Amino acid sequence: IPSGGWDSKRCPPEKWIEIIKALNLKLDCKFLILWGPEDINEARLIKENLTQNCILAPNTDLKQLAGLISLCNLVIANDSGPMHLAAAIGVPTLGLFGPTDPHKHGPYSSKSDFVIKSDLHCIICNKLVCPFNKECFNEMNIEEIIDKSMKLLTNYD
């Protein structure tokens, strides 16, 4: 879910593409891109750069979004309302964090985890717009994302 209320909370589409390609090497599955009105351009860019096992969800309301999330085996999301919704529904959830603190902002579920590039000088800056080219997302370790995703899938399948 590439959504985020602030621009700085949105992992760039190029990083999402990298994450999905890496997961695709490990898993035989389909990827569903869920999005909100402000995220459609990023969601389309992600879909356009991936294989046929990637599906762009239609426009949804909150109830429909919750229904689609409930059908997922794993949700990977920026710090956003849909991330919290996924955790609340009980779907294994991996949060990607940059400008906000995952210890304060969740996801709050026994079936969740998070990734953050904690060694950056600007991490947890709480800025609405990033002055540093979103290093917090662009420099995230893909292997950490894959490892945590696989653990969530294995432990809560």
Q: Is the per-residue pLDDT at 4 higher than 90?
A: no
Report, as an integer, the average pLDDT of 136-152: 95
Q: How does the average pLDDT of the chain come out, rounded?
A: 93
CATH number assigned to the domain comprising residue 75: 3.40.50.2000
Structure tokens at 156: 């809560």
State residue 140's pLDDT score.
95
**Domain assignment of residue 2, yes or no:** no
**Domain assignment of residue 128, yes or no:** yes
Q: What is the chain's length?
A: 157
Q: What is the tens place of the pLDDT at every residue in 114-126?
A: 999 999 999 999 8
**Domain assignment of residue 149, yes or no:** yes
**Domain assignment of residue 1, yes or no:** no
How many domains in the chain?
A: 1
pTM of the model: 0.94
State residue 156's pLDDT score.
67
User: Residue 53's pLDDT band (boundaries 50, 70, 90)?
Assistant: confident
Q: Write out the DSSP string of 56-112.
A: EPPP--HHHHHHHHHT-S-EEEESSHHHHHHHHHT--EEEEESSS-HHHH---STTE
* Domain extent for 63: 7-155
Report, as an integer, the average pLDDT of 44-52: 90
**Domain assignment of residue 55, yes or no:** yes
State residue 31's pLDDT score.
95
User: In this structure, what DSSP letter does residue 128 have?
Assistant: S
User: In this structure, what DSSP letter does residue 7 have?
Assistant: G
